[in-house]
Chain A
Amino acid sequence: MAVNYREAKGSNVSRTASEIPEEKVPRSYISQRAEGIPPSGIRKFFDLLLTMDDVISLGVGEPDFNTPWNIAVAGIDSIEKGITSYTSNKGLQELRDLVSSYLSQHYNTDYDPDDEIIITTGVSEGLDLAVRAVVDPGDEVLVADPCYVSYAPCVMLAGGIPVALPCPAEDEFRVTPDALLEKVTKKTKLLMINYPNNPSGGVMGRDDLKAISDIIVDHDLLLLSDEIYSELTYEGRHVSPASIETLREKTITLNGFSKAYSMTGWRVGYLCAPSEIAGAALKIHQYAMLSSPTMAQYAAIEALRGAEDAKDRMVAEFRMRRNLFVAGLNRIGLPCHLPKGAFYAFPSIEGTGLTDEEFAERLLIEQQVAVVPGRAFGSSGIGHVRCAYAASRMDLEEAIRRIGIFIDSI
C-alpha cells in the first residue's frame, strides 16, 4: 500500500527582500507535546549527590546483582557467532514460545506466541506501544497512583489525558472499586496498573482484581497491567489479571527481564495482548523500534531456559533484606508496612513533621543517604519516601543507622 504524504503548504515562489520580516522571533523547535512533559522532580537531588562522598543510595530502581553469568554468556555467544542482525519485528520465535509457556506455567495465562506476543525493548517500550496503540487524543487514562514515573508522560505523548486514580496507603496502595467508580467517565479508555507496585511494594490478589473486573467490563475499559516485578512477590503468588476470564480480552500484559534476572541494561521485555491490540502495537513497534536488541533476546532465551535457580536465590535474598530493612525502619520510628513485592520500602515520614521532599533532601545532605520523595510517584505518594532495598545487607544496616541518627536530630 502506498503511503500518502501530505503536500507541503509552503509557496514555491521566491520572495523579494522587502517581504522578509526584519526582526525574526526565535522559533521554538520543541514540539508542544515534548514541552508539555514536566521535568524530572529528582534532578536537583541528582546534582546534589554528585557533589558528595560516601553516599548510600537507596534511590535506585534496579537490582544490585550482576546478570547471572550463563545469561550473559548467551548474549556474548550470539555476538561471537555473528548473530547480530535484526530479528523479526515480533522477536525471535523461540523466545516468544518460551514467554508463552513461562506465562502459562507461572501465571496461568494463555497467549498465542504467533500473534499475541511482541518482544519489546524493555517494559518501557511496551508501555509506550500499548498506550499509543489504544489511546486517541482526548481519551482519559486512569493511572493508579502512586506509580512508575513514565506512565503519565507516556499518556500525554499519545495525546491522552492522564487521570490519577488514588491508591493511598489506607488501601494498601491497591485499586479499590470505590476509587475506580469515582474516577471513571465516559471518556475513560484505559486503566494502568502495576503490581507488585513501584514505589509502594503493594500487590493485588485475585480477590482484589475480581473486585474491579466488573467495573472494567461494564465500562468497556482496557486494562494495562505492568507486571515487571511479578517474580518478586514475597507473600502468596502473583496473580496476572489476564488469568481472570472476564479480563482476558480486556488486558494488555507487560513484563520483562530487567528486575527478575538483573538485566536492566539489556533492554528486553514483552507485550502480550489479544491479537487485534497486539497487531496495532506491532505496527508502531516495527517503525519505532524495528526489533529488540538481538543479543538481548538470546540472553532472554537463556534466562527462561536456565536461570530459575539464580532467580530464586535473588528473590530469597530480596525477601531477607526486606524483612531486615523494614524491621529496621519500624525500630527507628518510621512506620512502614511490610511490602509484599518488588524491592522498595515505602515508609511514611509524616510523623517527622517534614515533607517527603524536605526529608529526602536533608537526609541526603546531613547523613548521605539517598531516597526518593514519594511525590515523585504521584500525589498518593506524598508523605512517604521510597527506599530501594536492592543494596547489600551491610549498606542497608548502615543506612538504617544513619536514618535513625537523622530522625533523632530533627
Chain B
Amino acid sequence: MDEKDREILRVLESDSRVGAEDLGTMLSLSPSEVQARIGTLEKAGVLRKYTAIIDWKKAGEDGVVALVELKVSPEREFGYDRIADRIARFPEVKSLRLVTGTYDFQVIVTGRTMQEIAEFVSGQIASLENIKETVTHIVMKTYKEHGCELQRSEGLERLPYSF
C-alpha cells in the first residue's frame, strides 16, 4: 500500500468507472500496473465494491428511508459484534454503525412504504435478543449522499471565455 495505491483509490471513490488505461495516464503508471494494483487491492478487501449514487426520488421510486437508533446490551463474550452481524445480514439494512453517545447502533433501513419499515423494525430488529430500545426516524429529504449534494446541481457558472 503506497501513495500510488491511495491515489488510485481516491480516483475510484469519486468515479468508479475510470478504466485502467485512463488511470494509468492520469497517475503516470502503465495500464498493466494499474490493473495489477487494483487486483491486489480487491483481493485484500480494500476495494470493496463499484457502485453508483442514485437519486431514487427523481427515478420515481417513492421508497422510504429510516434512520434507526438501537440501544443494545452487549454480550459477555462477543461484545457488540454478534448482534451487529445478525442485523447486518438483513438486506433491508443499508448501513450499520456502532457509535458513541446515547445509543449504540445507528442503522439505515430502506423499504417501499412506511408500513414496511415499521414492520421490519418491530418484527425483525426489536425482537432480537439484547435489543433494549429502538427509535425510528423517517428520512424526509436527503441533501447529501456519499459526498454528493443531491439538491444542488453541480458545477458553477463561468464565462465561456476568460483569459
- Determine if B26 is an interface residue (Cβ-Cβ < 8 Å): yes
Q: Which residue of B lies closest to A320 (CB)?
A: B26
Smallest distance from the beta carbon of B27 to chain A beta carbons, Å?
7
B49-57, B69-77, B104-112, B155-163 - the one binding chain A: B155-163
Q: Which residue of B lies closest to A42 (CB)?
A: B161
Interface residues on B, range: 10 to 19
On whether A46 and B161 interact (CB within 8 A), knowing A320-B26, A323-B25, the answer reads: yes
Smallest distance from the beta carbon of A296 to chain B beta carbons, Å?
17
Cβ–Cβ contact A62 & B7, under 8 A = no
Smallest distance from the beta carbon of A407 to chain B beta carbons, Å?
20
- Interface code B1-41, partner A: CB below 8 Å = 1, 0 otherwise? 00000010011000100100010011110000000000000
Cβ–Cβ contact B161 & A324, under 8 A = no
Chain B residues near A376: list those with CB within 8 A: 163
Chain A residues near B28: list those with CB within 8 A: 323
Chain B residues near A62: list those with CB within 8 A: 158, 162
Cβ–Cβ contact B158 & A49, under 8 A = no
Q: Which residue of A lies closest to B160 (CB)?
A: A57
Classify the secondary structure of B's interface with A: loop
- Near A by CB (< 8 A), chain B positions 116-163 give 155-156, 158-163
Cβ–Cβ contact B15 & A60, under 8 A = no
Determine which of A55, A66, A323 lies in contact with B156 in the assembled complex, contact meaning CB atoms within 8 Å. Answer: A66
**In the complex the two chains form, what is the Cα distance from A77 to B28 in whole Å?**
42
Determine which of A59, A323, A393 lies in contact with B15 in the assembled complex, contact meaning CB atoms within 8 Å. Answer: A393
Q: Which residue of A lies closest to B26 (CB)?
A: A320
- Determine if A211 is an interface residue (Cβ-Cβ < 8 Å): no
Chain B residues near A316: list those with CB within 8 A: 7, 10
**In the complex the two chains form, what is the Cα distance from A50 to B160 in whole Å?**
9
Q: Which residue of A lies closest to B7 (CB)?
A: A316
- Near B by CB (< 8 A), chain A positions 152-207 give 198
Smallest distance from the beta carbon of B163 to chain A beta carbons, Å?
5
Chain B residues near A107: list those with CB within 8 A: none
Cβ–Cβ contact A370 & B162, under 8 A = no
- Determine if A406 is an interface residue (Cβ-Cβ < 8 Å): no
- Interface code A375-393, partner B: CB below 8 Å = 1, 0 otherwise? 0100000000000000011
On whether A64 and B25 interact (CB within 8 A), knowing A149-B163, A320-B11, A372-B163, the answer reads: no
Smallest distance from the beta carbon of B130 to chain A beta carbons, Å?
41
Chain A residues near B27: list those with CB within 8 A: 320, 323
Determine which of B7, B15, B156, B163 lies in contact with A198 in the assembled complex, contact meaning CB atoms within 8 Å. Answer: B163
Q: Which residue of A lies closest to B10 (CB)?
A: A316
Chain A residues near B160: list those with CB within 8 A: 46, 49-50, 55, 57, 59-60, 370
Cβ–Cβ contact B25 & A324, under 8 A = yes
- Determine if A404 is an interface residue (Cβ-Cβ < 8 Å): no
Cβ–Cβ contact A324 & B158, under 8 A = no
Cβ–Cβ contact B162 & A61, under 8 A = yes
Q: Spell out A's residues near B (CB within 8 Å).
A: 42, 45-46, 49-50, 55, 57, 59-62, 64-66, 148-150, 198, 316, 320-321, 323-324, 327, 370, 372, 376, 392-393
Ordered nearest first, which 5 A-B pairs have the shortest CB separation? A320-B26, A59-B161, A61-B162, A57-B160, A149-B163
Question: Told that A45-B161, A64-B155, A316-B10 touch, could you supply 10 new A-B pairs with CB distance under 8 A?
Answer: A46-B160, A60-B158, A60-B161, A64-B156, A320-B11, A323-B25, A324-B25, A370-B160, A392-B155, A393-B18
Q: Spell out B's residues near A (CB within 8 Å).
A: 7, 10-11, 15, 18, 22, 25-28, 155-156, 158-163
16 contacts between A and B (CB under 8 A): A45-B161, A49-B161, A50-B160, A55-B160, A57-B160, A57-B161, A61-B163, A62-B162, A64-B155, A64-B156, A320-B26, A323-B26, A324-B25, A327-B25, A376-B163, A393-B15
